[in-house]
Amino acid sequence: MGHRGRPGDRRGRGRRGDAAGWQPAALRQGRLAQPGFRLPRRAPGGGDRVTARLGPGEVARAAALLRQGALVAFPTETVYGLGGDATDGQAVAGIFAAKGRPHFNPLICHYPDAEAAFADVHADDRARALAARFWPGALTLVLPRRPTCRVDLLAGAGLDTLAVRVPAHPLALDLLRQAGMPVAAPSANRSGQVSPTTPEHVLDGLSGRIAAVLDGGACPVGVESTVLDLTGTGPVLLRPGGVEAEAIEALLGPVGRALPLAAAAASQSLRSPGLMLSHYAPSLPVRLGARSVAADEALLAFGPALPGAAVAWSLSEGGDLREAAARLFAGLRWLDAEGARQGCARIAVMPVPETGLGVAINDRLARAAAPRP
């Protein structure tokens, strides 16, 4: 697909051709003289590309990088996002390149408030009621693009709809206000891998591939936003997430469900490309519904841990689903690394109840356990 800058676009000039969205050369060369940049981590393989780690006091620098067309990972209440200027085709192409993400999978655009979001999409009464109730927060709305929508078509993968959200994280909101444009941001992980909930997770996957990560510590919710499609007559839940379906139904009445996982896998026409079955995959195989654990298994525990595992990570000893969601992706990453180090054959996962946030947790676990492509 051709995604060159529009004629006269300030970002169309002087950009590196190999990784669109990389920080401008002048800035890269000057980084050591800039007090805002901490000691950067080197790219794996000894390349000269570095990813700056920006502290919470450096939002203005992160916003400036976004305005220059560079890619900046930033914290949201759900997971870290890999942000780029959604109106800049090159920045958006850079997001896909940095993640290794298929171009048919559209991105969510992030805004500082509902008014800014609804300038780019048509919001009906349902959308306005949901925004009033859940924004800022972990709910993404898929709505029809306005003809005046500023967002580059590639960000929406060429669809006539757009996914929009206002995140509930003070650093994210500050960044979005200061950046002054819609920010396209998928989760800040390599495509198919586990979503990041700390800056360390981001750097594990993307160090050397993006300009900076804004450090906001651990993300409080821990699973991605709920994605709700409002483009048809009835609302449809495309992805369970941080806002429970029950809370949405309390406001809107019954909400349709997208195809269940197994049916989605068989279907050639997925309603939302993010419904792809294998996703969030650690490198060790994953076994669900474990009621006992073998000596060569790494255990992801919910409630009191099963005895006998080689290594174990507790999602929540007391069986609290919010705590479990917040600890899910960090646990999968840790068990994957530690389990592999100790020669484990797989990760065994104890059952998690299918209610409230448990629906989102089980959705991510089912994808982690799904056959790999």
CA distance 337 to 335: 5
β-bridge partners, 5 = none
Residue facing Mg ion at closest CB distance: 187
CA distance 131 to 110: 13
Residue 273 in the binding site for ligand TXA (CB under 6 A): yes
CA distance 211 to 189: 14
Tokens 């990088």 correspond to what residue? Answer: 65
Stretch that binds Mg ion, among 48-56, 180-188, 342-350, 360-368 (CB under 5 A): 180-188
Tokens at residue 148, please? 């005046």
Query: For ligand TXA, which is the closer residue by CB, 107 or 344?
Result: 107
Residue 140 in the binding site for Mg ion (CB under 5 A): no
Residues in region 296-355 near ligand TXA by CB under 6 A: none
- In the list 21, 69, 106, 208, the residue contacting ligand TXA (rule: CB under 6 A) is 106
Stretch that binds ligand TXA, among 30-38, 56-64, 128-136, 183-191 (CB under 6 A): 183-191
- In the list 68, 187, 207, 226, the residue contacting Mg ion (rule: CB under 5 A) is 187
Which of Mg ion, ligand TXA, none is residue 199 near (CB under 5 to 8 Å by kind)? none
SS3 percent helix, strand, coil of the chain, rounded to 5, is 35, 15, 50
Instruction: Please report which helix (H) or strand (E) contains residue 199, including its range.
Output: helix 199-206
CA distance 373 to 157: 22
Tokens 């998928």 correspond to what residue? Answer: 186
Which of ligand TXA, Mg ion, none is residue 350 near (CB under 5 to 8 Å by kind)? none
Binding mask 227-266 for ligand TXA (x = CB under 6 A): x----------xx---------------------------
CA distance 319 to 304: 8
For helices 199-206 and 321-341, angle between their N-to-C axes, nearest 10 degrees: 40
Which of ligand TXA, Mg ion, none is residue 92 near (CB under 5 to 8 Å by kind)? none
Dihedral of the CA atoms 98, 103, 108, 110 (nearest 10)? 50
- In the list 156, 222, 235, 282, the residue contacting ligand TXA (rule: CB under 6 A) is 156
- In the list 79, 151, 173, 310, the residue contacting ligand TXA (rule: CB under 6 A) is 79
Q: Which residues bind ligand TXA (CB under 6 A)?
A: 76, 78-79, 81, 105-108, 140, 142, 156, 159, 161-163, 165, 167, 185-187, 224-225, 227, 238-239, 272-274
Q: Which residues bind Mg ion (CB under 5 A)?
A: 187
